[in-house]
Amino acid sequence: MCICKRLNMTDYASSSDILRREIEAQSEEEAAGILDQARQDAERILKQAAGDAASDREKVLAGARMQADTERKRVLSGVQLEIKKQRLRSREEMIERIFAEVRNKLQEFRTRPGYADFLHTCILEGGMAVDQDDLKLICGTMERKILKPAFLRTVRDALAKLGRSCRLELDDATEEEGGVLVVSADGRMRFDNRFSARIRRKEQALRLAIIKALEDQQES
């Protein structure tokens, strides 16, 4: 009886030990599997994180490149606009210098022999424009030396040939500027043929001619 009990206890202990070892082996295998799965999950997560980081980096770089390109275009546009403004300023300064030179030349023209013929034309234009019988001529001191009675008779004769009959006389007022101002006796009508007025009437055409000349000079 005691022997059986001892045998049974021995068998039980042996079986328990085997079962324990099997459980331990199974647990170790499961633990290894869990660890391997965890390692794979970790690697996958790391790869995904690296991919996301690379994608984010590319997005940041693309955004930076786009921003830099936009800034470059803005700066370039500003530079081009400033260059255009500078060219326009330079052109306007050149045009003003040319007009100033024209005014100086016109003042010199007042002392030239051909100036009398110019005044003759100015009065003819005014006489045809102001349709009145009595016309007064307002001019400068230098012009008064030319517009003598004999000179005015030649102008009246020229107007008569054009079908325009009128009387011409110098006004008491004086305008110290080249050219002549033709006005009706009552002062209601006038035709300004002074230098400044003639330049104003032809300013646009003169500006276009100057601009074209400057552009042709730049291209050559």
Q: Write out pLDDT tens, residues 43-62.
A: 787 787 777 767 777 887 88
- Is a pLDDT exceeding 60 seen at residue 8? no
Query: Among residues 125, 131, 128, 132, which one has the least CA distance to residue 180?
Result: 125
Domain check: are 215 and 120 in the same one?
yes
Domain check: are 65 and 161 in the same one?
no
Domain check: are 209 and 143 in the same one?
yes
Could you tell me if residue 38 is inside a domain?
Answer: no
Alpha helix positions (H), 110-172? 115-129, 141-144, 149-161
Last residue of a domain, one of 109, 133, 156: 109
Single-letter residue type at 153: R
Domain check: are 149 and 105 in the same one?
no
Radius of gyration of the chain (CA): 53
- Is a pLDDT exceeding 70 seen at residue 14? no
Domain check: are 97 and 194 in the same one?
no
Domain check: are 62 and 121 in the same one?
no
What are the φ/ψ torsions at residue 184 (nearest 5 degrees)?
Answer: -75, 160
Query: Within a 10 A sphere around the Cβ of 67, how many other Cβ atoms?
Result: 10
Angle between helices 149-161 and 115-129 (to 10 degrees): 50
Query: For 62-117, what is each residue's pLDDT tens digit?
Result: 888 888 788 888 888 888 888 888 888 888 898 899 889 999 999 999 999 999 99
Q: 100: domain range?
A: 53-109
Could you tell me if residue 198 is inside a domain?
Answer: yes
Q: Left, alpha or beta for 130 (phi > 0: left; psi -120 to 50: alpha)?
A: beta
Instruction: Give the pLDDT confidence score for residue 193 in this predicted structure.
Output: 96
| Rounded-to-integer distance, Cα 49 and Cα 39, Å | 15
Query: Among residues 139, 217, 150, 141, which one has the least CA distance to residue 183?
Result: 139
Q: pTM of the full predicted structure?
A: 0.61
Query: Among residues 126, 143, 144, which one has the least CA distance to residue 135?
Result: 126
- Residues 137, 169: contact at Cβ < 8 Å? yes
Instruction: Specify the higher pLDDT residue, 84 or 219.
Output: 84
Domain check: are 185 and 206 in the same one?
yes
Mapped onto helix, strand or coil, the DSSP state of residue 187 is coil
| Rounded-to-integer distance, Cα 105 and Cα 115, Å | 12
| Rounded-to-integer distance, Cα 99 and Cα 103, Å | 6
Number of domains within the chain: 2
Could you tell me if residue 15 is inside a domain?
Answer: no
Domain check: are 126 and 197 in the same one?
yes
